[in-house]
Amino acid sequence: MRLSVFINIKYQCSNPGCSSSIIVPEPSLRNCQFTCLADAQCRTFTFDENSNQCELFSDIPSQYGNLLAQAGVTTMTTIDDRQLIDCASGNLLWNTTGITVLNSSQLISAAGIYVDLNNTLYVADVNNHVIWKLLSNAVNATIVAGTYQTSGTSSTQLNWPQDVYTDRHGNVYVSDWYNHRVQKYQNGSTIGKTIAGITNTRGSALNQLNLPLMFTFDSTDTYMYIVDHDNERIIRFPTNSTSGVSGTIIAGGNGPNNTNTSLNSPFGVHYLPSVSTDLFITNNDGHSVIRWTPGAPSGVFVAEGDTSTPNVPGSTSTLLYGPVGIKIDSYLNMYVVDRGNNRIQMFCANSQIGITIAGGSSGNGPQQFNQPYGIAFDAKMNMYIGDNQNARVQKFLKL
């Protein structure tokens, strides 16, 4: 990106505790800098010399936006009170009007979702106790796991399924919430095999689960990392394990807390080892996201608001309210389903300032959510959201 703008712009700091203004008299934006010290709320510029990318965190008068565009700088639409220029990498912007790809004619409550390499969508439908499969460009979905509207403990039944994943061989994995197990369906079979936990037996032993929620897998599908919700931990199991096999605690397991050595109602988890060796975990009751190296005694909060007062819900750009689903991309940007705020927040790599890329108010309109849950991306980075209480899956096209 070419940055060569001959302008002198004055930006007001948003926090009254900071200096009153910031002057950027440079003949270009290459020397983007902070002058509102020690307060992230006053952060006006960040600039990465290695990638030549600059972020502007203040409202920009339209005439300056025009000057930037004329100078060859790619500007984007104002998002969440800020103007963004090439956040992290690429033009990370989505249409904010969702397209419904599955609705209440089939779904009751969309939860975890997954899109495979063929752009086939899989949806965990909690209250119908099934997993739906929607082929790319298809209209109607089919059931690939569970018995429609019938909960149970048998190998063909599920009880409030929460998340779904398919591996490169087409095997389907399901976290079976009230059965305290993870089921694997091989080669298109509708008969599940328990590969983690013991059916209908909740507990804290290493061979047990207690209300498993979302999960993530390594790049070779050798291991799965399960949010063991009521045990306040992330536990790892081989994908070829069987019922009663012991797992390994990877994060948490010390009871609910808002310190960096514990988890507090963990909900979502994502692992992308090609980018980072760390897990990214949402703390639903802690209103935070923590980054945790598997097996380490502690993690690092990467989204939580004011570090001096953790566990504070809110709706500002630095706060979350009951976060659930989470994904990271190949540039280490982080996408969080901020359920209590009915929005999707994007956190640029190494930034704790969230940018609302979809939603922001409660309702059933195409730009709204009602308790969103799962998040997934297809190969073109189109975004899919399980809009739980609206009984639908929304697709947001990448611009």
Enumerate the domain spans of the chain: 9-70, 99-396
The answer to whether the CB of 271 falls within 8 A of the CB of 332 is: no
Other Cβ atoms within 10 Å of 358 Cβ, number:
25
- Bridge partners of 311? none
What is the C-alpha separation between 22 and 42, in angstroms, rounded? Answer: 10
Measured in degrees and rounded to the nearest 5, phi and psi for residue 113 equal: -135, 160
Give 79's Cβ-side CA count (13 Å radius). Answer: 27
Is the C-alpha dihedral spanning 62, 66, 71, 72 positive or negative? Answer: positive
What is the C-alpha separation between 85 and 47, in angstroms, rounded? Answer: 10
Query: Which DSSP symbol is given to 63?
Result: H
Query: Which DSSP symbol is given to 147?
Result: B
Task: Supply the pLDDT for residue 268.
Answer: 98
Task: Supply the pLDDT for residue 113.
Answer: 98
- Bridge partners of 290? 281, 301
- Between the alpha carbon of residue 160 and those of residues 112, 131, 181, 223, the distances in Å are 11, 10, 11, 23
Helical segments of 46-116, H only:
62-70
Q: Virtual CA dihedral for 150, 135, 184, 219, nearest 10 degrees? A: -150
Is the C-alpha dihedral spanning 101, 105, 108, 114 positive or negative? Answer: negative
Its pTM surpasses 0.85? no
- Between the alpha carbon of residue 251 and those of residues 35, 174, 205, 209, 229, the distances in Å are 38, 21, 15, 14, 12
Task: Supply the pLDDT for residue 309.
Answer: 61
Beta strand 343-347 with 233-238 is: unpaired
What 226-232 contacts at long range (C-beta under 8 Å, 24+ apart), as own/partner pairs, is 226/175, 226/182, 226/196, 227/175, 227/266, 227/267, 227/268, 227/269, 227/281, 228/266, 229/265, 229/266, 229/267, 230/202, 231/204, 232/256, 232/262, 232/263, 232/264, 232/265, 232/266
Task: Reduce the DSSP state of residue 291 to 3 states and report it.
Answer: strand
Task: Supply the pLDDT for residue 77.
Answer: 36
Is the C-alpha dihedral spanning 146, 201, 283, 116 positive or negative? Answer: negative
On the 0-12 / 13-18 / 19+ scale of CB atoms within 10 A, 222 is: exposed
What is the C-alpha separation between 124 and 143, in angstroms, rounded? Answer: 10
Measured in degrees and rounded to the nearest 5, phi and psi for residue 99 equal: -110, 125
What is the C-alpha separation between 1 and 85, in angstroms, rounded? Answer: 10
- The greatest distance separating any two alpha carbons of the chain, rounded to the nearest whole angstrom, comes to 70
Question: 79: closest CA among 350, 345, 382, 340?
Answer: 345
Token digits for 125?
A: 């439908």
Task: Supply the pLDDT for residue 137.
Answer: 86
Task: Supply the pLDDT for residue 68.
Answer: 38
Q: Residue for token digits 């709320």?
A: 41
Q: Virtual CA dihedral for 349, 355, 360, 366, nearest 10 degrees? A: -80
Arch. (CATH architecture) of 99-396: 6 Propeller (2.120)
Per-residue pLDDT of the chain (399 residues; tens, 9 = 90+): 222 222 333 333 344 333 333 333 333 333 333 333 233 333 333 433 344 333 333 333 444 344 334 433 343 333 333 333 345 445 678 999 999 999 999 999 999 999 999 999 999 999 999 999 999 989 999 999 999 999 999 999 999 999 999 999 999 999 999 999 999 999 899 999 999 999 999 999 999 999 999 999 999 999 999 999 999 999 999 999 999 999 999 999 999 999 999 999 999 999 999 999 999 999 999 999 999 999 999 999 999 866 556 688 999 999 999 999 999 998 889 999 999 999 999 998 888 889 999 999 999 999 999 999 999 999 999 999 999 999 999 999 998
